[in-house]
Amino acid sequence: MAYVIGDDCVACGSCIGECPAGAISEGEKYVIDPDACMDCGTCADVCPSGAIAPGE
């Protein structure tokens, strides 16, 4: 199950450099590509706002 970025995202960029799959892209709100996500949780571990969680 891919991780998702919720509304608490402050677009700080902490997660982008940590994603080994390059699955996170910038925009008005950051987004994780579910097809590229490896479900490793590294992004959630570095997110200062707790906006990243496992998807449903």
Q: What digits encode the pLDDT tens for the residues 13-52?
A: 999 999 999 999 998 889 999 999 999 999 999 999 999 9
pTM for the model: 0.89
φ/ψ of 40, rounded to 5, equals -85, -25
**Residues 34, 46: Cα–Cα separation, whole Å:** 19
The pLDDT value given to residue 44: 97
Q: State the architecture of 1-56 in CATH terms.
A: 2-Layer Sandwich (3.30)
Domain edges within the chain = 1-56
**Residues 49, 6: Cα–Cα separation, whole Å:** 10
